[in-house]
């Protein structure tokens, strides 16, 4: 089966942390996991109390299966546009929005974030969580995203950082907390709110996620037992990454208010 992704398959595979040959099977493996990043409730909690207009506009860049967007659309009077490069995720989000009768306020499109940003539309809130620096440079990524945020609008961003005295054991070019804060402050915007996950929260989330992946993987293997080598290597890599994250990394969610320009 071919995946008609909005970005090159090897790039998408990197962001989905899966080998490219497994991408066609990823929807089954992920069928018990909607939340591919932070908990929608945590994002909602951070957004409460922000100074936002009636029916404010949200753009979610790299929205995955739309879990955060569906949750926010149930809580707020807002309209939401979610963009992701992986067609099965977008198809899932469209169906879920319809099932929840939220299709009037949630639209989802399979597109490259970089193309979306070129449209120069303006949003009250932009969500960019668990995606990473898509331009290969953090400041450039933030700078491009800022262009679609209205003056004094908000960016909700999630990222990881190395805990003190930890060295980078791969997976991602993480710096320490103060380096990340320096990057987030580069444009002199106001870091309004911060939520740092506790190690216990990270461990519990990894446990839930890995159990959901295993359940989906078992269903795939019932249908295609010959894929066991590929699938088991993927599950092992996910567990190894979880261990490194739990031991070495902190994870934070921030609300950043853009300045007047």
Ligand X SMILES: C[S@@+](CC[C@H](N)C(=O)[O-])C[C@H]1O[C@@H](n2cnc3c(N)ncnc32)[C@H](O)[C@@H]1O
The yes or no reply on residue 126 touching ligand X (CB under 6 A) is no
Find the shortest distance in angstroms from Cβ 64 to ligand X: 3
The answer to whether 252 contacts ligand X (rule: CB under 6 A) is no
Q: Kindly tell me which residue out of 23, 67, 72, 245 binds ligand X, with binding defined by CB under 6 A.
A: 67
Tell the burial category of 181 from Cβ atoms under 10 Å away from its Cβ (0-12, 13-18, 19+).
middle
CA distance linking residue 224 with residue 92, whole number of Å: 22
Half-sphere exposure of 17 (CA within 13 A, CB side): 20
Q: Which of 42, 69, 84, 124 binds ligand X (CB under 6 A)?
A: 84
- 62 binds ligand X, rule: CB under 6 A: yes
Q: List Cα–Cα distances, 110 to 33, 145, 163, 221, in angstroms.
A: 19, 18, 35, 28
Give CA angle at 139 (158, 185), nearest 5°.
Answer: 65
Q: Of the two residues 39 and 152, which places its CB atom closer to ligand X in the complex?
A: 39
Q: Which is nearer to ligand X, 67 or 251 (CB)?
A: 67
Q: Would you count residue 63 as binding ligand X (CB under 6 A)?
A: yes
Residue nearest to ligand X (CB): 37
Among 13, 46, 80, 85, binds ligand X (CB under 6 A): 85
State the DSSP string of 93-156: HHHHHHHTT-TTTEEEEE--HHHHHHT---EEEEEEES---TTSSHHHHHHHHHTTEEEEEEEE
Question: Measured from the CB atom, is 15 or 187 closer to ligand X?
Answer: 15
Contact flag: residue 113 with ligand X (CB under 6 A): yes
Interface positions, 158-177, toward ligand X (CB under 6 A): none
Exactly one of 47, 68, 72, 80 binds ligand X (CB under 6 A); that residue is 68
Residue 89 in the binding site for ligand X (CB under 6 A): yes
Is 213 a binder of ligand X (CB under 6 A)?
A: no
61 bridge partner residues: 83
Work out whether 248 is an interface residue with ligand X (CB under 6 A): no
Q: If 0-12 CB within 10 Å is exposed, 13-18 middle and 19+ buried, where does residue 171 land?
A: middle
Beta 56-61 vs 78-84: how paired, if at all?
parallel
Kindly determine how many residues on this chain lie close enough to bind ligand X according to the rule CB under 6 A: 26
- Residue 16 binds ligand X, judged by CB under 6 A: yes
Q: How far apart are CA 7 and CA 147, in angstroms?
A: 21
CB 100 within 8 A of CB 94: no
Residue 245 contacts ligand X per CB under 6 A: no
> Is position 131 an interface residue for ligand X (rule: CB under 6 A)?
yes
The distance of closest approach from Cβ of residue 225 to ligand X in the complex, given in angstroms and rounded to an integer, is: 28
Q: Which one, 105 or 134, has the nearer CB to ligand X?
A: 134
Burial 201-237 (b: 16+ CB within 10 A, else e): ebbebbeebbebbbebbeebbeeeeebeeebeebbee
| Binding-site ranges for ligand X (CB under 6 A) | 6-7, 12, 15-16, 35-38, 62-64, 67-68, 83-86, 89, 112-114, 129-131, 134
């Amino acid at each position: 089966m071919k995946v008609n992704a909005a970005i090159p398959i090897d790039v998408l595979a990197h962001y989905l942390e899966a080998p490219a040959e497994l991408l066609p099977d990823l929807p089954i493996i992920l069928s018990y996991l909607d939340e591919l990043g932070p908990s929608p409730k945590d994002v909602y909690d951070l957004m409460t109390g922000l100074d936002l207009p009636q029916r404010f506009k949200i753009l979610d860049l790299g929205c995955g299966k739309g879990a955060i967007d569906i949750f926010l659309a149930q809580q707020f009077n807002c309209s939401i546009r979610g963009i992701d490069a992986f067609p099965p995720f977008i198809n899932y989000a469209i169906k879920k929005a319809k099932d929840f009768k939220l299709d009037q306020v949630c639209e989802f499109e399979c597109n490259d974030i970089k193309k979306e940003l070129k449209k120069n539309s303006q949003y009250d809130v932009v969500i960019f969580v668990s995606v990473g620096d898509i331009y290969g440079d953090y400041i450039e990524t933030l700078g491009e995203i800022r262009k679609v945020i209205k003056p004094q609008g908000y960016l909700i961003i999630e990222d990881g950082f190395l805990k003190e005295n930890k060295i980078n054991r791969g997976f991602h070019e993480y710096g320490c907390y103060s380096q990340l804060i320096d990057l987030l402050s580069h444009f002199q915007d106001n870091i309004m709110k911060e939520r740092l996950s506790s190690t216990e929260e990270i461990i519990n989330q990894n446990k839930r996620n890995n159990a959901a992946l295993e359940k989906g993987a078992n269903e795939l293997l019932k249908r295609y037992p010959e894929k066991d080598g590929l699938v088991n290597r993927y599950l092992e890599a996910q567990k190894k990454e979880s261990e490194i994250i739990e031991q070495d990394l902190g994870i934070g969610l921030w609300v950043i208010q853009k300045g007047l320009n």
